[in-house]
């Protein structure tokens, strides 16, 4: 599992005039004070990514889906129902798939659901083209283990675009090789469903299949509304561009913003030894993942909003699943007192 990123407050006390050679590997010289700090201001690229091995399949897929989203803005592909599919899809695929399943369930085991339901949520996550469960979890567990220190796969302290997107474009042997995944995902690799996804790429079919299902629904409703095949095709294509391509791009940038923006901008409730922040804008867009400093301080907690006003729709969904008897053993923030409910 992840190691805790919380460090005792005394490690942050800054004492001037210390040689970098005398410092442990996780401590840096703060350029402002000249003293040691566990919070680095500028990082080198993670060890292992140079010389670059470009992940062309990732670069091409990200470029193509961004290009495919552009026709959504042509009048012939516009529809208000298509636009509405974006927030609906962000919740359905992004919030339930990425936040609830990949992040809070698979990476941090903040609650428990029956295995077949966990797998169903993982299928939703796969429709976001963010990789297999194990590859996502491996990168994220390494991020927590070394947050904002050099081995962190995507710290924006290298530079903003590195943390947001560029880290995906080059291979990092610590997280995207068989060895890296096996090191960080011993638990997931015991599950034959997740293990099989590392050995064949059939899961990639879920994306076009989900797109076809959305198009078919658009065609049916379009025909019902207009009574013409032309009207059916117009709504079907509108739903494809808005409900699939635009939604995919939006979910990507929301997920990536948690890696980039919430390690740079926002406030901190906890001293965590890295630069994680709580950012209300990212929290609203992402359905609660923007309370990222809270999350780094208490990684297993299924709730990322710790104060009453830190609204966390993903946690509200988990609470709903508990009420229906589907989810149990929810890990709550330590600061709330009772740990499991
Ligand atoms: Zn983080
Ligand atoms: Zn996490």
The pLDDT value given to residue 132: 97
167 CA to middle of ligand 1, Å? 14
131 Cβ partners below 8 Å, 6+ apart? none
- Residue 104 falls inside a structural domain: yes
pLDDT per residue as tens digits for the range 22-78: 555 455 555 455 566 655 568 999 989 999 999 999 999 999 999 999 999 999 999
283 CA to middle of ligand 1, Å? 13
The ligand minimizing its distance to the Cα of 304 is: 2
Please list the residues that pair with 28 across neighbouring strands.
Answer: 37
From the number of C-beta atoms within 10 Å of its C-beta (0-12, 13-18, 19+), residue 116 rates as: exposed
Whether residue 2 is predicted with pLDDT greater than 60 in this model: the reply is no
Do the Cβ atoms of 111 and 274 come closer than 8 Å?
no
pLDDT per residue as tens digits for the range 260-283: 999 999 999 999 999 999 999 999
The pLDDT value given to residue 256: 98
- Residue 89 falls inside a structural domain: yes
Half-sphere exposure of 322 (CA within 13 A, CB side): 16
Instruction: Give me 316's structure tokens.
Output: 């509200």
pLDDT per residue as tens digits for the range 95-134: 999 999 999 999 999 999 999 999 999 999 999 999 999 9
The pLDDT value given to residue 240: 98
C-alpha to C-alpha distance for 294 and 303, rounded to whole angstroms: 9
Do the Cβ atoms of 45 and 20 come closer than 8 Å?
no
Residues 3-8: what's their mean pLDDT? Answer: 43
113 CA to middle of ligand 1, Å? 25
174 CA to middle of ligand 1, Å? 17
pLDDT confidence bin for 341, thresholds 50/70/90: confident
| pTM, to two decimals | 0.88
DSSP codes joined into one string, 215-281: HHHHHHHHHHHHSSHHHHHHHHHHHHIIIIIIHHHHHHHHHHHHHHGGGTSSB-SS--SS---B-HH
293 CA to middle of ligand 1, Å? 8
The ligand minimizing its distance to the Cα of 279 is: 1
205 CA to middle of ligand 1, Å? 30
The ligand minimizing its distance to the Cα of 266 is: 1
The ligand minimizing its distance to the Cα of 104 is: 2
235 CA to middle of ligand 1, Å? 39
C-alpha to C-alpha distance for 95 and 273, rounded to whole angstroms: 28
- Residue 129 falls inside a structural domain: yes
Whether residue 286 is predicted with pLDDT greater than 60 in this model: the reply is yes
229 Cβ partners below 8 Å, 6+ apart? 223
The pLDDT value given to residue 29: 53
39 CA to middle of ligand 2, Å? 19
- Residue 96 falls inside a structural domain: yes
The pLDDT value given to residue 6: 45
Q: What are the φ/ψ torsions at residue 253 (nearest 5 degrees)?
A: -70, -30
Counted domains in the chain:
1
The pLDDT value given to residue 137: 98
> What is the torsional sign of CA 151, 121, 95, 315?
negative
- Residue 325 falls inside a structural domain: yes
- Residue 50 falls inside a structural domain: no
Do the Cβ atoms of 163 and 260 come closer than 8 Å?
yes
Whether residue 292 is predicted with pLDDT greater than 90 in this model: the reply is yes
pLDDT confidence bin for 160, thresholds 50/70/90: very high
Task: Return left, alpha or beta for 34; rule: phi > 0 is left, psi -120 to 50 is alpha, else beta.
Answer: left
Whether residue 164 is predicted with pLDDT greater than 80 in this model: the reply is yes
105 CA to middle of ligand 2, Å? 10
- Residue 25 falls inside a structural domain: no
For the stretch 189-198, contacts whose Cβ atoms lie closer than 8 Å and that sit 24 or more positions apart, written own/partner, are: 189/134, 191/115, 193/119, 193/122, 194/122, 194/132, 194/133, 194/134, 195/134, 197/132, 197/133, 197/134, 198/132, 198/134, 198/135
pLDDT per residue as tens digits for the range 186-205: 999 999 999 999 999 999 99
SS3 of residue 7 by DSSP: coil
pLDDT per residue as tens digits for the range 202-245: 999 999 999 999 999 999 999 999 999 999 999 999 999 999 99
The pLDDT value given to residue 10: 37
**Residue-range definition of the domain harbouring residue 172:** 56-336
136 CA to middle of ligand 2, Å? 11
163 CA to middle of ligand 1, Å? 10
Instruction: Give me 28's structure tokens.
Output: 């840096």
The ligand minimizing its distance to the Cα of 146 is: 1
118 CA to middle of ligand 2, Å? 17
144 CA to middle of ligand 1, Å? 6
H/E element holding 144? helix 133-145
- Residue 297 falls inside a structural domain: yes
The pLDDT value given to residue 116: 98
3 CA to middle of ligand 1, Å? 13
168 CA to middle of ligand 1, Å? 16
120 CA to middle of ligand 2, Å? 21
DSSP codes joined into one string, 11-61: GG---SS--GGGS-TT-EE-TTTSSEESS-SS-PPPTT--S--B-HHHHHH
Residues 5-27: what's their mean pLDDT? Answer: 46
Whether residue 285 is predicted with pLDDT greater than 90 in this model: the reply is yes
Residues 143-165: what's their mean pLDDT? Answer: 96
69 CA to middle of ligand 2, Å? 29
């Amino acid at each position: 599992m992840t190691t805790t990123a919380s460090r005792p407050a005394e490690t942050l006390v800054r004492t001037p005039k210390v040689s970098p050679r005398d410092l442990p590997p996780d401590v840096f010289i703060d350029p402002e004070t000249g003293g040691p700090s566990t919070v680095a201001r500028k990082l080198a690229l993670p060890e292992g990514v140079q010389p670059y091995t470009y992940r062309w399949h990732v670069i091409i897929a990200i470029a193509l889906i961004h290009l495919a989203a552009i026709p959504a803005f042509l009048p012939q592909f516009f529809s208000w129902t298509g636009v509405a599919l974006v927030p609906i899809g962000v919740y359905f695929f992004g919030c339930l798939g990425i936040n609830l399943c990949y992040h809070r369930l698979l990476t941090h085991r903040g609650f428990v659901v029956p295995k077949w339901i966990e797998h169903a949520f993982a299928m939703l996550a796969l429709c976001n083209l963010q990789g297999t469960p194990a590859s996502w979890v491996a990168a994220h567990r390494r991020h927590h283990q070394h947050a904002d220190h050099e081995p962190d796969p995507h710290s924006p302290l290298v530079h903003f675009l590195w943390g947001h997107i560029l880290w995906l474009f080059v291979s990092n042997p610590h997280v995207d090789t068989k060895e890296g995944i096996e090191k960080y995902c011993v638990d997931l690799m015991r599950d034959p469903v997740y293990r099989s996804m590392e050995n064949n790429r059939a899961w990639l079919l879920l994306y076009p299949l989900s797109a076809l299902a959305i198009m078919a629904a658009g065609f049916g409703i379009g025909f019902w509304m207009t009574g013409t095949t032309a009207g059916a095709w117009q709504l079907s294509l509108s739903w494809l561009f808005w409900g699939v391509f635009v939604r995919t791009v939006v979910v990507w940038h929301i997920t990536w913003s948690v890696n980039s923006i919430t390690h740079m901008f926002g406030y901190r409730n906890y001293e965590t030894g890295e630069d994680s922040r709580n950012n209300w804008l990212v929290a609203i867009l992402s359905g609660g993942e923007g309370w990222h400093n809270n999350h780094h301080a208490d990684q297993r907690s299924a709730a990322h909003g710790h104060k009453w006003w830190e609204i966390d729709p993903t946690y509200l969904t988990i609470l709903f699943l508990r009420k229906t008897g589907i989810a149990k053993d929810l890990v709550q923030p330590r600061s709330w007192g009772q740990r499991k409910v």
